[in-house]
Amino acid sequence: MVKDELEEFSKLADQYIITCDHASLAALVESYTKQDFTFSHPLYEAHYLYCLGNCYSKLYETRKTEWYSDDLMKSVIFYRKAIHTLPKANWQEHVNNIHAYDSLRSMIETNLANRLSSQGR
Protein backbone atom coordinates (compact mmCIF):
# COMPACT_ATOMS: atom_id res chain seq x y z
CA MET A 1 0.00 0.00 0.00
CA VAL A 2 1.40 3.36 -0.98
CA LYS A 3 0.72 6.71 0.63
CA ASP A 4 -2.12 7.66 -1.75
CA GLU A 5 -3.99 4.41 -1.09
CA LEU A 6 -3.53 4.87 2.65
CA GLU A 7 -4.87 8.41 2.46
CA GLU A 8 -7.90 7.19 0.48
CA PHE A 9 -8.65 4.51 3.09
CA SER A 10 -8.16 6.99 5.92
CA LYS A 11 -10.46 9.59 4.33
CA LEU A 12 -13.19 7.02 3.69
CA ALA A 13 -12.96 5.74 7.25
CA ASP A 14 -13.10 9.29 8.64
CA GLN A 15 -16.06 10.12 6.42
CA TYR A 16 -18.02 7.09 7.61
CA ILE A 17 -17.12 7.76 11.25
CA ILE A 18 -18.12 11.44 11.06
CA THR A 19 -21.39 10.76 9.23
CA CYS A 20 -22.18 7.78 11.51
CA ASP A 21 -22.52 5.48 8.48
CA HIS A 22 -21.76 2.36 10.47
CA ALA A 23 -22.85 -0.12 7.81
CA SER A 24 -20.42 1.40 5.29
CA LEU A 25 -17.70 1.55 7.94
CA ALA A 26 -18.14 -2.14 8.74
CA ALA A 27 -18.07 -3.01 5.02
CA LEU A 28 -14.94 -0.89 4.50
CA VAL A 29 -13.12 -2.57 7.38
CA GLU A 30 -14.14 -6.02 6.20
CA SER A 31 -12.96 -5.35 2.65
CA TYR A 32 -9.56 -4.05 3.80
CA THR A 33 -8.89 -6.70 6.44
CA LYS A 34 -9.45 -9.46 3.85
CA GLN A 35 -6.50 -8.16 1.83
CA ASP A 36 -2.80 -8.60 2.46
CA PHE A 37 -0.89 -5.40 1.91
CA THR A 38 2.78 -4.70 1.45
CA PHE A 39 3.71 -1.24 2.66
CA SER A 40 6.37 1.00 1.19
CA HIS A 41 7.33 2.25 4.67
CA PRO A 42 6.70 1.02 8.25
CA LEU A 43 5.14 4.40 9.10
CA TYR A 44 2.41 3.75 6.53
CA GLU A 45 1.73 0.30 7.96
CA ALA A 46 1.49 1.73 11.48
CA HIS A 47 -0.92 4.41 10.26
CA TYR A 48 -3.05 1.79 8.49
CA LEU A 49 -3.23 -0.33 11.66
CA TYR A 50 -4.07 2.79 13.69
CA CYS A 51 -6.94 3.57 11.30
CA LEU A 52 -8.26 0.02 11.62
CA GLY A 53 -8.11 0.38 15.40
CA ASN A 54 -10.12 3.58 15.15
CA CYS A 55 -12.71 1.89 12.93
CA TYR A 56 -13.18 -1.02 15.33
CA SER A 57 -13.29 1.42 18.23
CA LYS A 58 -16.16 3.31 16.59
CA LEU A 59 -17.98 0.08 15.74
CA TYR A 60 -17.67 -0.97 19.40
CA GLU A 61 -19.17 2.34 20.58
CA THR A 62 -21.99 2.05 18.05
CA ARG A 63 -22.98 -1.49 18.80
CA LYS A 64 -23.04 -0.84 22.57
CA THR A 65 -21.76 -4.28 23.36
CA GLU A 66 -20.05 -5.61 26.44
CA TRP A 67 -16.47 -4.83 27.47
CA TYR A 68 -15.33 -8.19 26.07
CA SER A 69 -16.78 -7.51 22.60
CA ASP A 70 -14.99 -8.61 19.46
CA ASP A 71 -14.82 -5.02 18.15
CA LEU A 72 -13.18 -3.75 21.33
CA MET A 73 -10.64 -6.57 21.34
CA LYS A 74 -9.82 -5.97 17.68
CA SER A 75 -9.32 -2.24 18.27
CA VAL A 76 -6.84 -3.01 21.06
CA ILE A 77 -5.05 -5.58 18.89
CA PHE A 78 -4.69 -3.17 15.97
CA TYR A 79 -3.47 -0.34 18.22
CA ARG A 80 -0.85 -2.68 19.72
CA LYS A 81 0.24 -3.86 16.28
CA ALA A 82 0.54 -0.22 15.20
CA ILE A 83 2.80 0.62 18.14
CA HIS A 84 5.08 -2.34 17.42
CA THR A 85 5.18 -1.55 13.69
CA LEU A 86 6.00 2.12 14.16
CA PRO A 87 9.73 2.61 13.61
CA LYS A 88 11.82 4.25 16.28
CA ALA A 89 12.67 7.82 15.39
CA ASN A 90 16.12 8.18 13.93
CA TRP A 91 17.43 11.52 15.13
CA GLN A 92 19.45 11.89 11.94
CA GLU A 93 16.28 11.96 9.86
CA HIS A 94 14.49 15.07 8.74
CA VAL A 95 12.68 16.85 11.57
CA ASN A 96 9.30 16.37 9.83
CA ASN A 97 9.78 12.59 9.83
CA ILE A 98 10.61 12.62 13.53
CA HIS A 99 7.51 14.71 14.22
CA ALA A 100 5.36 12.28 12.18
CA TYR A 101 6.64 9.29 14.20
CA ASP A 102 6.10 11.05 17.52
CA SER A 103 2.67 12.37 16.58
CA LEU A 104 1.38 8.99 15.40
CA ARG A 105 2.85 7.23 18.45
CA SER A 106 1.06 9.71 20.73
CA MET A 107 -2.29 9.20 18.98
CA ILE A 108 -1.94 5.41 19.05
CA GLU A 109 -0.99 5.33 22.74
CA THR A 110 -3.86 7.66 23.70
CA ASN A 111 -6.47 5.60 21.86
CA LEU A 112 -5.02 2.34 23.16
CA ALA A 113 -5.20 3.64 26.73
CA ASN A 114 -8.84 4.66 26.22
CA ARG A 115 -9.79 1.23 24.86
CA LEU A 116 -7.93 -0.59 27.65
CA SER A 117 -9.81 1.60 30.12
CA SER A 118 -13.06 0.48 28.48
CA GLN A 119 -12.02 -3.08 29.27
CA GLY A 120 -11.35 -2.15 32.88
CA ARG A 121 -7.58 -2.49 32.54
pLDDT in tens, 40-72: 889 999 999 999 999 999 998 776 666 567 888
Give the Cα separation of 13 and 25 in Å (integer): 6
3-18 vs 22-33: helix crossing angle, rounded to 10: 150
Q: Are 47 and 10 in contact (CB under 8 A)?
A: yes
Give the Cα separation of 15 and 69 in Å (integer): 24
| pLDDT 10s digits, 65-121 | 665 678 889 999 999 999 999 987 676 777 787 888 899 999 999 999 988 887 666
- Phi then psi for residue 90, to 5 deg, are -95, 115
Three-class secondary structure of residue 36 per DSSP: coil
